[in-house]
Amino acid sequence: MITLTVNGMEHSFDGDPEMPLLWYLRDELGLTGTKFGCGIAQCGACTIHLDGYATFACITPISIADGSEVRTIEGLTEKGDHPVQVAWRDLNVSQCGYCQAGQIMQAAALVDSTPDLTDEDIDTVMSANLCRCGTYPRIRAAIKQAAEARTE
């Protein structure tokens, strides 16, 4: 039996321990905010926080999350007011929006963990997350705005 905490709620699972967290979250718990994009850690649409670290849910077997704390986009904040979420809305970052849950989770971890963010930090970390619509310029601008809001 695997037990884990998802967005503050405890769950247990006795199915295939190899099942990636992505499909557990989406199909078993109905938390569809975390997206499927590639299944091989190439696009970042499935980015979640595992014990606070940005993690690709599509290649993380649920067994690895045993005893861990998982946070998804639905549980990032109660009111949707993480500085990254606010900046995303302020700048109309999204186009189709599909990759943005992963982008926001990646960006939130980056902003929360990195003081004095540089463009190079943003390039390095955010290059893990693909956006086919091409929202990168606004993602960069939103991360900078969120980082400023964090330090204020």
Partner 1 sequence: MSNNPVAVARIANVSRRSILLGLSAGSLVLAVGLPTLSRAQDAPVEFGADAMPNGWRDDPNVFVSIADDGIVTVTVHRSEMGQGVRTSIAMVVADELEAEWDMVRVTQAPGNEPRYGNQDTDGSRSLRHFFDPMRRAGASARTMLEQAAADAWNVPLSEVRAEGHVVRHAGSDRTMSYGKLATAAAALPVPDREGLRLKDPATFRYVGKADIGLVDNDDITRGTTTYGIDVRREGMLYAVIARPPVFGGRVVSVDDSAALQVAGVERVVRLDPPTIPAEFQPLGGIAVIARNTWAAIKGREALVIEWEDGPHAAYSSEDFEAELEAAVQTDDGKLILNRGDVGAALAEASTRIVAEYYIPHLAQAPMEPPAAVADVHDGSCEVWACVQAPQVTRLRLAQRMELPEEDVTVNVTLLGGGFGRKSKPDFVLEAAILSREVGAPVKLTWTREDDLQHSYYHTVSVERLEAGLDAQGKAVAWLHRTAAPTIGSIFAPDPRQKLPFELGMGLTNMPLDIPNVRAENPQAPAHTRIGWYRSVSNIPHAFAIQSFIAELAEATGRDPLEYLLEVIGPARLIDPSEIGDVWNYGESPERYPIDTGRLRKVTETVAEAIGWGRQLPVGSGLGLAAHYSFVSHVAVATEVEVVNGEVHIPRVEIAIDCGAHVNPDRIRSQMEGAVIMGVGQALTTEITFQDGRPQQGNFDSYLIPRMETAPREINVHLVSSGGYDQPLGGVGEPGLPPIAPSIANAIFAATGTRIRRLPVADQLRS
Binding site for partner 1 (CB under 8 A): 15-16, 19-20, 23-24, 26-28, 30-40, 42-43, 45, 72-74, 76, 80, 85, 88-89, 92, 94-101, 104, 119, 122-124, 126-127, 129-140
Our CB check for partner 1 shows the closer of 35 and 68 to be 35
Q: Quick one: 32 exposed, middle or buried, by C-beta within 10 A (0-12, 13-18, 19+)?
A: middle
Beta carbon of residue 103, minimum distance to partner 1 (angstroms, whole number): 10
Distance of alpha carbon 7 from alpha carbon 74, whole angstroms: 8
Cα–Cα distance for residue pair 111/105, rounded to 1 Å: 10
CA 35 to CA 140: how far, in whole Å? 21
Q: Which is nearer to partner 1, 44 or 68 (CB)?
A: 44
Residues 54 and 15: their CA atoms lie apart, in Å, by 24
Least distance CB 47 / partner 1 (angstroms): 11
Q: Give min distance, CB of 117 to partner 1, in A.
A: 13
Three-state secondary-structure class, residue 118:
coil
Nearer to partner 1, 68 or 107 (CB): 107
Q: Which is nearer to partner 1, 3 or 92 (CB)?
A: 92
* Minimum gap (Å) between residue 120 Cβ and partner 1: 9
**Interacting residues of 80 by C-beta distance below 8 A, sequence separation 6+:** none
